[in-house]
Amino acid sequence: ITWTAPLDVAMVTYYSVCFAVSPAGAGKVQQGSDIAVATNLPMVAQDTALGSFTYILVYTKSALSEQTTPCALLIDDLYGGVSGITLADQDLDDGQLGGTITWTPPTDTVTIVEYNVYFAKSTSGAGKSQHGAAVPLHTNALALAADFEPGSFTHIVVYSNSSDAGQTTPSFVILSDTHASVSSVHFTDYDLDKGELWGEVTWSAPDDMGQVTLYHAFLADTGAGGNRKRLGGAFDFGSFGGP
């Protein structure tokens, strides 16, 4: 908090800073101790609860009394939280995530220099683990490589940081894992020669097709895809046939 001292400070010994609900001082509560003349730089601690206060008041004090009509400043409580956090999960395996985390910046970014993104176990950031480095202002996105396993994490939380302090109450979004595996895979072999196959592979499409653009079919040694060999190219329909 800063202010301009009176032109005549000969009788001024201290200043006092108060929070109040009116510019005249209604409901005032002093913040900290009296401040010596020529200081003019008291700090409001981070996370100070505003409550119902709407004004900062500065009183001058002499050796005998305190000023009755203070200098008043209407409090402008800046909210620097982001909104609209999204992760369009493009990793279609169950229990894995991948894609780009994006968000909408706050309306007023004058004091913000960067954002920090975490995976966490609650909306408040409990048990959080940072993902990647700090994201510079105006970027508003952070990549998440495929095959990320969230484990016990349930939320993505984003904190805005100023040059002096970091936000302590984050913005958040609940994790949503896109699972888009096909089912009911079927193949009937119409080639009667030993060691050769011919026929049509069919399957049922996933319930969630939001991120599905193409299918790939393979022959493999194991159900997990060991030593796999692709059957033809990518295709966008639910069956494939050929020798």
Of 25, 34, 30, nearest to 54 (Cα)? 25
> Could you identify the residue written with the tokens 């936000």?
167
Q: Which two tokens stand for residue 151?
A: 């484990």
| For the chain, percent of residues with pLDDT exceeding 70 | 93
pLDDT 10s digits, 122-162: 999 999 999 999 999 999 999 999 999 999 999 999 999 98
pLDDT, averaged across the chain: 86
CB atoms within 10 A of CB 114: 16
Query: Using an 8 Å Cβ cutoff, are 2 and 52 in contact?
Result: no
How would you label 152-170 residue by residue, b for 16+ Cβ within 10 Å and e otherwise? ebbbbbbbbbbeeeebeeb
What is d(CA 206, CA 175) in angstroms, rounded to the nearest whole number?
A: 20
pLDDT, tens digit, for every residue of 213-236?
778 788 888 877 788 887 776 676
- Confirm if 161 and 172 have CB atoms less than 8 A apart: no
Q: What is the dihedral of CA 209, 214, 215, 218, to 10 degrees?
A: -150
Q: Is residue 9 predicted with pLDDT exceeding 70?
A: yes
Tokens of 84: 């609209």
DSSP for residue 166: B
Instruction: Flag the least confident range among 5-9, 228-232, 236-240.
Output: 236-240
What CA–CA distances, in Å, run from 53 to 2, 74, 167, 172? Answer: 18, 10, 21, 28
Higher pLDDT, residue 237 or 196: 196
Question: Looking at per-residue confidence, does 204 or 16 come out higher?
Answer: 16
pLDDT attached to residue 230: 79
Decide: pTM greater than 0.95.
Answer: no
> Which pLDDT belongs to residue 228?
81
**pLDDT above 80: residue 89:** yes
- pLDDT value at residue 238: 52
- Residue 4 pLDDT greater than 60, yes or no: yes
Cα separation of 171 and 143, whole Å? 18
Q: How far apart are CA 200 and CA 7, in angstroms?
A: 93
Three-state DSSP at 194 gives coil
**Band of pLDDT at residue 194, cut at 50, 70 and 90:** confident
If phi > 0 it is left, if psi is from -120 to 50 it is alpha, else beta; for residue 92 that is: alpha
Please give the full DSSP string across 26-83, using - where no structure is assigned: TT-EE-SS-EETTT----PPTT---TT--EEEEEEE-SS-B-SS-EEEE--------E
73 or 184, greater pLDDT: 73
